[in-house]
Amino acid sequence: MPEDFVPPHGGYKDLISYQKAKIIYDATVYFCDRFLNRKDRTRDQMIQAARSGKQNIVEGSLASVTSKQTELFLTSVAWSSLGELLEDYEDYCRINDIAEWSEEDPGRKRMRELNRIPQADYETFRKGIEHEDPAVCVNVIMGLVRVTRYLLAQQMKRLRKDFVEVGGLRERMTRARLEERERQRREGKREKDGKDIKDRKDPRDRNWP
């Protein structure tokens, strides 16, 4: 039986990268409303970059039914958008003389603990995101962005591997057609062989001259 060339798709809500990107978007809206002037172009750029990160994960997952290449491309766009967002947060730290947490900082250790919680959402990180100290707020969000970009990088690696090994929709359809033709050929041969055996006369049934 030929393979089902339409793969599972659209399950973006189960992707940890999407769950994190959703937190990042909400956190960025909160951050910009709290710390940036509404007339500041950076505010709009940061919110747009956060939204792009989230939405391209969604669109990539939905596109996977027809094109792994498109899914890979949109996932890479999400990764790049979050990279731009991270740069904006780093700029904010530099301009406002805020130190980024080191690997041994207690805040960073706490982030590692929170990131291990299954189905984590905004509430999981709310205390950090909405902390009275801007340094805590920005470091928590940057930590989320870095983790999400790492997850997206792993997704892209898997998507490249899947494309090489399985191919896209066109390759899967071609393979399915070839398998179906081979199946029909084998069935036709079995039917022909069966008919030949049925039509063959037993020598003992011949009439004597």
Residues 157 and 185 in one domain: no
Residues 146 and 174 in one domain: no
* Spatial distance between the Cα atoms of 173 and 5, rounded to a whole number of angstroms: 6
Domain residues for the domain of 178 are 168-199
pLDDT over 70, % of the chain = 77
Number of domains in the chain: 2
In a domain, 6, yes or no: no
Residues 64 and 85 in one domain: yes
Residue 204 has pLDDT above 60, yes or no: no
Task: Give the SS3 label for residue 73.
Answer: helix
Residue 132 has pLDDT above 60, yes or no: yes
Question: For 7, which DSSP code?
Answer: -
Residues 58 and 147 in one domain: yes
Phi/psi for 67 (5° steps) reads -155, 115
Residues 153 and 174 in one domain: no
Instruction: Locate 44 and state its tokens.
Output: 């709009």
User: Which pLDDT score, from 0 to 100, does residue 129 have?
Assistant: 98
From the number of C-beta atoms within 10 Å of its C-beta (0-12, 13-18, 19+), residue 48 rates as middle
Residues 176 and 108 in one domain: no
Residues 69 and 85 in one domain: yes
Question: For 207, which DSSP code?
Answer: P
Residue 66: pLDDT band (50, 70, 90) is: confident
User: Which pLDDT score, from 0 to 100, does residue 4 have?
Assistant: 52
* Spatial distance between the Cα atoms of 177 and 86, rounded to a whole number of angstroms: 46
Residues 47 and 89 in one domain: yes
In a domain, 72, yes or no: yes
Give per-residue pLDDT as tens, 82-108. 999 999 999 999 999 999 999 999 999
Question: For 28, which DSSP code?
Answer: H
Specify the residue for token string 């490249």.
160
Give per-residue pLDDT as tens, 159-176. 888 777 765 555 555 555
Residues 147 and 174 in one domain: no
Residues 111 and 145 in one domain: yes
Give per-residue pLDDT as tens, 175-190. 556 566 767 777 766 6
Q: Looking at the whole model, is its pTM more than 0.95?
A: no
Give per-residue pLDDT as tens, 17-31. 999 999 999 999 999
Residues 88 and 154 in one domain: yes
Residues 20 and 76 in one domain: yes
